[in-house]
Structure 1
Amino acid sequence: MADQVNAPTLGFIGFGNMAQAMAKGLVEAGALPGTRIYATAAHFDKLQASTAALGAHACEDARGVVKASDFVVVAVKPHLVASVLEPVRDALAAPGKAVISVAAGCGFDFYEGVLAPGTHHLSTIPNTPIAVGAGVVACEQRHSLSEGELAAFEDLFGQVALIEWVDGKLLSTASAIAGCGPAFAAMFLEALGDAGVKHGLP
């Protein structure tokens, strides 16, 4: 059980399948209470239902998420990242804020062009088994987090995932393997069971 009193606050800009898997994993593992999680998404009524299930906070816009959060997770489709972050560009550069991206294909150089100079950021790709504390998070070796932020990130997400550091040019490859691997594993495990039954195993 983590020290929840001193745990960071975590905000999600976008609260689709991956963001919800991350939040669910953290809450159910006892790594972070839902009360320290904030989220915003395009459909507020759906967002309210999703956050309520975790005891988290639904925010009407990205500004609310950034204001409340130490770590801000960018979890929208890659083509939306720049436009979604523009209104909070300056706020994200404030002391005590760090951006964690889970948007595929958006690496360090991309964020250097989108975020305000001096913004602390890290590009990652998690996979959905993080929802049950068995995830993998591929992280780009090049980042601008402080030592303290990096330690806090690893301490938090290390409770629900194996954290692997890779060169930026390998991030997409690592994320494809980590992201698709569980689905292929589920398929062949199911096929093994079906084959056993077909040939007479109870």
Structure 2
Amino acid sequence: MNNINNISIGVIGAGNMSTAIIKGILSEDLIPSKNIWVYDIDQSKLDTIVENTYIQGANNNNQLVEKSNIIILAVKPNIYPSILEEITPYLTSSKILISIAAGISIKFINDKIKKRCKVVRIMPNTPALVGYGVIALCKNHELDEKELEYVISIFKCLGKIEEVDETLINAVTGVSGSGPAYVYMFIEALADGGVMMGLPRDQAYRMAAQTVLGAAKMVLDTKEHPGVLKDAVCSPGGTTVEAVYTLEQSGFRGIIMDAVKKCTEKGELLTK
């Protein structure tokens, strides 16, 4: 994969995540737009993404697979079986198939395609749409070092790459996959508290969201333990420690931990 002019990428599905991936590839100049293919059964979606990015629109999934070295399967999990059955005859050992579906294991895909190509499993979360996602990449020793580096280069524009063992992928879903929903609820509750105390709602939402963004950046940039950063805000006998005490009394930590546990367990039940 040394010569980018010899690499072609095909994306099956033209939804929001596909669009983010394609725009990220183009913004990083990974390969020329003429070497990127996309197909979607929804012609209007296909036309829109082709017109907006100047990439190649395929006539069908099989043509896309034939034209591509790397195929990104960005469709709903429930239609994976039919898509895999359709494209299997066109897969070869020189191709890499990348899955981004929750609940679909590498083994499930390999069984469906009879191990005709290398398979990589990627799990991005929704903040990847704005370049601040967590992208879990399941370790796969079938890929050589250069192939792995190239796969990482495709997705790093969407956020932070974290390599994990596939056995932990449901825990990943519990933390980063579903985590944005917990954070949105926290932002909403924090803003509601501000409104209850007299702040205008639009201002309360902006302040709550920026506070979460800033606090997260402090954790990432300083690499300090979150507890240390929390203690730095809590002056002795002050307002913040009073609020922290209230959260602790209400079981704040335990509720979040239990949510992650329940989400992980649900993921394990749904995994194919």
- Give the conservation status (yes or no) of the 8 Å contact 1:101–1:121: yes
- Give the conservation status (yes or no) of the 8 Å contact 1:120–1:146: no
C-alpha displacement of 1:194: 4.0
Please, which runs of 5 or more residues in structure 1 have no aligned partner?
Answer: none
1:91-170 equivalent positions in 2, closer than 5 A: 91-95=90-94, 97-142=95-140, 144-170=142-168
Bigger strand fraction? 1
RMSD: 2.7
1:6-21 equivalent positions in 2, closer than 5 A: 8-21=7-20
Amino acid of the structure 2 residue aligned with 1:178 = S
C-alpha displacement of 1:22: 2.5
SS of the residue corresponding to residue 122 of structure 2 reads strand
Where relative contact order (Cα < 8 A, 6+ residues apart) is larger, the structure is: 1
Bigger helix fraction? 2
C-alpha displacement of 1:113: 0.5
Amino acid of the structure 2 residue aligned with 1:163 = I
What is the rounded CA distance, in whole Å, between the counterparts of 2:85 and 2:32 in structure 1?
29
**Structure 2 length as normaliser, TM-score?**
0.63
- Give the conservation status (yes or no) of the 8 Å contact 1:122–1:143: no
**Structure 1 length as normaliser, TM-score?**
0.82
State the Cα deviation string for residues 14-58 of structure 1 (Å, max 9, x = none). Answer: 222332332244445665665443211121222211332233322
State the Cα deviation string for residues 78-132 of structure 1 (Å, max 9, x = none). Answer: 232222122321322242x210001222222112211243511111211122222
- Give the conservation status (yes or no) of the 8 Å contact 2:5–2:31: no
SS of the residue corresponding to residue 175 of structure 1 reads helix
Please, which runs of 5 or more residues in structure 2 have no aligned partner?
Answer: 201-272
Corresponding position of 1:184: 182
What is the rounded CA distance, in whole Å, between the counterparts of 1:160 and 1:172 in structure 2?
20
What is the rounded CA distance, in whole Å, between the counterparts of 2:3 and 2:118 in structure 1?
23
Q: Looking at CA atoms only, which structure, 1 or 2, has the larger radius of gyration?
A: 2
Aligned residues: 199
What is the rounded CA distance, in whole Å, between the counterparts of 1:44 and 1:25 in structure 2?
22
What is the rounded CA distance, in whole Å, between the counterparts of 1:195 and 1:32 in structure 2?
48
1:186–1:26: structure 2 CA closer, same or farther, 3 Å change rule? farther
